[in-house]
Amino acid sequence: MSFGEQDLNRAFLALADPTRRQIIARLSTGPATVNELAEPFKMSIQGISKHIQVLEQAHLVTRTREAQRRPVHLNPALLTELTGWIDKYRLLAEQKYNRLDAVLKDRSAHSG
Amino acid sequence: MSFGEQDLNRAFLALADPTRRQIIARLSTGPATVNELAEPFKMSIQGISKHIQVLEQAHLVTRTREAQRRPVHLNPALLTELTGWIDKYRLLAEQKYNRLDAVLKDRSAHSG
DNA sequence: TTCTTGATCAACCTTTCGGTTGATTACTAC
DNA sequence: GTAGTAATCAACCGAAAGGTTGATCAAGAA
């Protein structure tokens, strides 16, 4: 599955909202309908519905159809893509630090 | 280091912009000044400066002082926090799927 | 058919974001 | 001191985000 800049924009933006993160946390324990997802919030159903659409466009969730209900499912594959992006640069940066550590240790060993 | 909802908001929002992600990619290879970071972009220096402030408020980068320059450093620790948040729910969801897989395999084994 | 439920669509409003330009601060070099 | 360089501050602007309410659609139940 190809994964462009636009997808990263949408996915990280989706995670930047506490309501949407709470929805993701809920979905990690299993699928749920819009009404079920809305229950813990003071927000209107329409507001929650919008949040779910944002998550869906970011491919963080998918929806099936079940009579008049439309259960929402978390898509863990996309979460993997996100951690992949972050880890790439985290590891590069940490390697830099490790090399610096090595240099400093080497210097103190020579001077001590 | 304590890490609240507000910090997650800011950090994920910071990552939701392609210019800022490119800045992070650059910083993963080592520190850089604002002018150096601005070089690859058509954007004004002030625009880049704003982006860096967003990254700084999200604790994704820190700044030191070096004469009139203010080099920007990537903070890998925060990237770790973010992957930590994502992985928590990714793993929960994957466990769900694995259990479902096991059930389906068990059923087909019995029926086959 | 009519009624109820689950959910979306559409219009609107306020706040925030991402960008610009112009002025200003902080430091170095002469 | 003055000039030059690195970067921020401040005000402004258009576009998008996050929320609301009211109307509508789709499916099952009576």
Divide the 112 residues of chain B into consecutive groups of 10 and give the mean pLDDT of each group: 87 98 97 96 97 98 86 96 97 80 62 47
User: What is the CA A68 to C1' C2 distance in angstroms?
Assistant: 18
According to DSSP, residue B67 is labeled: T
pLDDT at A108: 65
- The residue among B2 and A87 whose pLDDT is bigger is A87
From the CA of B46, how many Å to the nearest CA of chain A? Answer: 22
Q: Selecting from 3.40.225.10, 2.40.30.10, 1.10.150.120, 1.10.10.10, what CATH number does the domain A5-111 have? A: 1.10.10.10
Are A78 and A24 spatial neighbours (Cβ–Cβ below 8 Å)?
Answer: no
Find, in chain A, the residue whose alpha carbon is nearest to that of B4. A18
Distance, first Cα to last Cα, chain A = 54
The closest CB to that of A13, out of B13, B30, B97, belongs to B13
Q: Map residue B42 onto helix, strand or coil.
A: coil
Are B64 and B73 spatial neighbours (Cβ–Cβ below 8 Å)?
Answer: yes
Question: Where does the pLDDT of residue A112 fall: very low under 50, low under 70, confident under 90, or very high at 90 and above?
Answer: very low
**CA–CA gap between residue A106 and residue A103 (Å, rounded):** 5
User: What is the CA B67 to C1' C17 distance in angstroms?
Assistant: 32
Helix (H) or strand (E) holding B50: helix B45-57
Answer yes or no: is B62 CB < 7 A from strand D.
Answer: no
User: What is the CA B43 to C1' C3 distance in angstroms?
Assistant: 59
Question: Where does the pLDDT of residue A109 fall: very low under 50, low under 70, confident under 90, or very high at 90 and above?
Answer: low
Using the beta-carbon criterion (under 8 Å), do B28 and A79 form an inter-chain contact? no
pLDDT digits (tens, 9 = 90+) for A31-69: 999 999 999 999 999 999 999 999 999 999 999 988 778
Helix (H) or strand (E) holding A75: none
Nearest to A20 by CA among B54, B18, B85: B85
Q: How far from the centroid of its chain's Cα atoms is residue A75's Cα?
A: 10
Q: Can you point out the beta strands (E) in A52-112? A: 61-63, 72-74
Are A101 and A93 spatial neighbours (Cβ–Cβ below 8 Å)?
Answer: no
Using the beta-carbon criterion (under 8 Å), do A9 and B28 form an inter-chain contact? no
Nearest to A16 by CA among B24, B53, B17: B17
Residue A14 burial by Cβ neighbours in a 10 Å radius (0-12, 13-18, 19+): buried
According to DSSP, residue B68 is labeled: T
Residue type, B19: T
Are B61 and B74 spatial neighbours (Cβ–Cβ below 8 Å)?
Answer: yes
From the CA of A110, how many Å to the nearest CA of chain B? Answer: 26
Find, in chain A, the residue whose alpha carbon is nearest to that of B13. A16
